Amino acid sequence: MSWVQIPPAPPIPDVSQLEDGEISGLRKSTLPLTKHNLLVTSDLIDQHSIKLLAKHATVFNSTQLAEDEIVKLLPLIDSLMIFSWPRFLTPERTRTMTRLLFVQSILAGVNHIPFSYFSERVIVSSNAGAYSDGVAEHAWALILAAAKRIVEQSIQIRAGTAALVRHGDAAARIRVLQGKAVGILGYGGIGTSVGKLATGFGLKVSAFSRHVSKEKGVQVRHGAKGLNKNLETSDIVVLALPLTKSTTGIIDKKALSRMKKNAILVNIARGELVDESSLYKHLKANGDFHYATDVWWYKNGRESLVTDFPFATLPNFTGTLHVSGPSVLAVGRPVLLAVQNTLRFLSNQTPKNIVDRSEYIPK
């Protein structure tokens, strides 16, 4: 086990610097001087979890505070639990958080966190692994929908233009997966779960990763050559990479040209892994190539169903409403793991899933 030296929190300033009165019913005199001060910025954290966290920290919930109250608290906060980066934490306000030492994301990806806002001493933990099995299930739903042309047939039936298939040649565009090759780009928790499910369908599994994997029967490739090999040899390519400065646009015109003309590309990671313009042109030019996605590109700072190109008009495009992660969130596992990791920090243990901020800050 590797250990990261967590710097001790500076002494909590005299709370008399806060104005007289109460902070959402919590009087200044009740603020302990020895505990951590944790700011929770999501109402996803249930009361049982709050009680567990409160054993090690004074817990404040931004969803129950007025904005001026939050601003007064920020200089006292040494730890944050967030879903997406809260809008009230502007660069100016974040710079007042001179005690901040730890940020825990409930999301698996951390590309939403503005690392440049705060000091390098701040430890940021992702929630890697929290969504793996559920998102992998959705990846396979997209793979099967594309391979079996489920959406296209359903539309034909609803429109009254369908005809039952009587002979095999009429279903030539329906793909049988057994014996085909799936290449998984990004072999962390989600990618590994996708690979495990692939074996049940009798597929050959390869992966592109910067890490060594001991998974039996999986060929893991590295570097630019490994990426190209996976693209060239896979019948199905699944994107399970984090969105970093080095993976943004990793599927561009050149990458698409390396793939098989009838490949299925599935994205259950982040929209920006794929260059939007190049993808649309490739889909238009290659009718047997299929793109199936649960994630979308950001427009005006938010993920959006609005696209620069009319993907929805293409029969070789399948999209869902970014439901893979939220469906897992609904069963509580991501919050549970995020709370457990925050408790590790609050009890002076090394948190898991510490992020390398250099992967997210442009040079």
Winning range, highest mean pLDDT, from 8-17, 23-32, 136-145: 136-145
pLDDT attached to residue 10? 43
Q: Which residues contact 69 (CB under 8 A, 6 or more apart)?
A: 23, 24
CB atoms within 10 A of CB 320: 17
Burial status of residue 148 (CB atoms within 10 A of its CB: 0-12, 13-18, 19 or more):
middle
pLDDT digits (tens, 9 = 90+) for 190-217: 999 999 999 999 999 999 998 877 777 8
Residue ranges with strand state E in 304-359:
317-319
- Encoded amino acid at 3, one letter: W
pLDDT beyond 70 at 9: no
Q: Check if the beta carbon of residue 230 is closer than 8 Å to that of residue 209.
A: no
Amino acid of residue 88:
F
The pLDDT, as a whole number, for residue 213 is: 72
* Average pLDDT score over residue span 158-185: 86
pLDDT at residue 106, rounded to an integer: 97
The yes-or-no verdict on residue 98 having pLDDT over 50 is yes
- Are the C-beta atoms of residues 70 and 41 closer than 8 Å to each other? no
Rounded CA separation 210/128 (Å): 16
- Summarize pLDDT for 40-62 with one digit per residue, the tens: 999 999 999 999 999 999 999 99
Rounded to whole angstroms, the Cα distance separating 354 from 4 reads 9
pLDDT band for position 165 (50/70/90)?
Answer: confident
The pLDDT of 11-37, averaged and rounded, is 46
**pLDDT for the residue numbered 168:** 62
Q: What's the rounded mean pLDDT across residues 74-80?
A: 97
pLDDT attached to residue 22: 39
Higher per-residue pLDDT: 15 or 65: 65
Mean of the per-residue pLDDT values for the chain?
A: 89
pLDDT reading at 33 higher than 50? no
User: Has residue 29 got a pLDDT over 70?
Assistant: no
Domain residue spans in the chain? 15-129+332-359, 132-325
pLDDT digits (tens, 9 = 90+) for 256-297: 999 999 999 999 999 999 999 999 999 999 999 999 999 999
pLDDT per residue over 288-317, tens digit each?
Answer: 999 999 999 999 889 999 999 999 999 999
Query: Which architecture, in CATH terms, is 15-129+332-359?
Result: 3-Layer(aba) Sandwich (3.40)
Third-level CATH fold of 132-325: Rossmann fold (3.40.50)
Beta bridge partners of 274: 251
For the sheet containing 236-239, what is the strand order? 218-221, 204-208, 181-185, 236-239, 264-267, 290-293, 317-319
The one-letter code for the residue type at 56 is H
Q: Is pLDDT above 90 for 185?
A: yes
Q: What is the model's pLDDT at position 26?
A: 39
Confidence class of residue 111 from pLDDT cuts 50, 70 and 90? very high
What's residue 55's pLDDT?
94
User: What is the pLDDT at residue 169?
Assistant: 62
Q: Is the pLDDT of residue 7 over 90?
A: no
| Token pair 């313009």: residue | 277
Q: Is residue 230 over pLDDT 50?
A: yes
Predicted confidence at residue 293, as pLDDT, reads 98
Contact (Cβ atoms closer than 8 angstroms) between residue 76 and residue 14? no
Tokens linked to 107: 């999301």
Answer yes or no: are the C-beta atoms of 40 and 61 closer than 8 Å. yes
Instruction: Flag the least confident range among 119-133, 161-175, 182-196.
Output: 161-175
Is the CB of residue 236 less than 8 Å from the CB of residue 263?
yes
- C-alpha 189/C-alpha 244 separation (Å) is 17
Higher pLDDT, 227 or 4: 227
Residue 25 above 70 pLDDT? Answer: no
Higher pLDDT, 336 or 217: 336
Do 15-129+332-359 and 132-325 share a fold? yes
**pLDDT band of 34, cuts 50, 70, 90:** low
